[in-house]
Amino acid sequence: MKRYIIHAVRYVTSVAILVTSVFVGVGVWRRYEDKPWTRDGHVLADVVKISPDVQGMVTSVDVVDNQFVRKGDLLFVVDTPRYEDAVANSDAAIDNAQAVLGQARRVVVRDEALGNLVATEVFEEDQAKVRTAEAALHQAMALKRTAMLNLARTEIRASVDGYVVNLSLRPGDRLSAGAQAMALIDASSYRVEAYLEETKLKYVHVGDTATIKLMGEDTPLTGHVESITGGIADDQRRAASNQLPAINPSFDWVRLAQRIPVRVQIEHVPSNVQLIMGRTATVVFSPREHG
């Protein structure tokens, strides 16, 4: 009798272990295949390309690499003396144009005083000289406004609050107008891009809660789905020389699910967590109820 009890206990135990293993296996399988989560997430942010609007030699650099700056803080200065001279030249041009205009107006006043003693052709020519002098004055004033704008833009300032990264600019470097001089990470734009398998997209909607676990951090972050991308590149298609689509003729028997970018807005960042652009994250989505 005792032997039968032992065999029965072993049988029940084996069945229980088997059933438990099946449930665990199914749960793990569903978690990996169906549940909306991914290890393929990265911290991203908007990068402002800082470039001067004027060309010239860099006379001073007022920040260091990885420094946090506020909007309006001075970053660097480009060749201020040269553009100060341009403003001084424009002032001289205005003075000259005003003198020429004053003389032209006095001649017209004199012509009007002389009346018929001045030939009509001469009077018309003197009036034309006044209009020409007025146009020259307006042009000189416009050039001064441009010179003052260029002078103001020799001081390049931060357009957003953020971090200066990968700074290699030094005094003495020469920059062209529009050439990128440094990068500034917008501190208000940090987010997580979760690259989710397309087979799991049906479980994710805008507004769903997201739990973010940065690699190397013990404290999770909270967020929500801000948007799902509208498209990704098709690596099976390219443009031919005749503008017709060229499609890859080969087809793999094993097809991997495409990774679709899902943008996650971070709602709260603990003080002990460093948000650094490029960090790796695991993102778990908790879908809300949809009617």
Identify the CA nearest to 52 among candidates 181, 144, 152: 181
Q: Which residue has the higher pLDDT, 199 or 279?
A: 279
pLDDT of residue 9: 59
Q: Is 147 helix (H, G, I), strand (E, B) or coil?
A: helix
Q: For residue 15, is it within any domain?
A: no
Q: What is the DSSP letter of 141?
A: H
Q: How confident is the model at residue 110, as a pLDDT?
A: 79
CB neighbour list of residue 104: distance below 8 Å, 6 or more residues apart: 126, 129, 130, 132, 133
Convert the pLDDT of each residue in 77-113 to its tens digit.
Answer: 999 999 999 999 999 999 999 998 888 888 777 767 7
One-letter-per-residue 3-state SS of 233-270: CCCCEEECCCCCEEECCCCCCCCCCCEEEEEEEEEECC
Task: Provide the residue type at 68 as one letter.
Answer: F
Sign of CA dihedral 256, 257, 263, 269: negative
Position 126 pLDDT exceeds 70: yes
**Quick one: 41 and 67 in the same domain?**
no
Q: How many CA atoms lie within 13 A of 118 on its CB side?
A: 17
The answer to whether residues 202 and 130 belong to one domain is no
Digit-coded pLDDT (tens) for 28-82: 455 555 578 899 999 999 999 999 999 999 999 999 999 999 999 999 999 999 9
pLDDT range class, residue 114, cuts 50, 70, 90: confident
Q: How many CB atoms lie within 10 A of CB 50?
A: 21
At residue 224, the pLDDT reads: 94
Domain that holds residue 216: 37-46+188-286
The stretch 179-204 carries a mean pLDDT of 93
Q: What is the pLDDT of residue 30?
A: 58
pLDDT at 208 over 70: yes
169 with 42, same domain?
no
Looking at per-residue confidence, does 128 or 62 come out higher?
62
Tell me if 8 is assigned to some domain: no
Q: Is 222 helix (H, G, I), strand (E, B) or coil?
A: strand
Find the CATH number of the domain harbouring 257.
2.40.30.170
pLDDT score of 12 more than 70: no
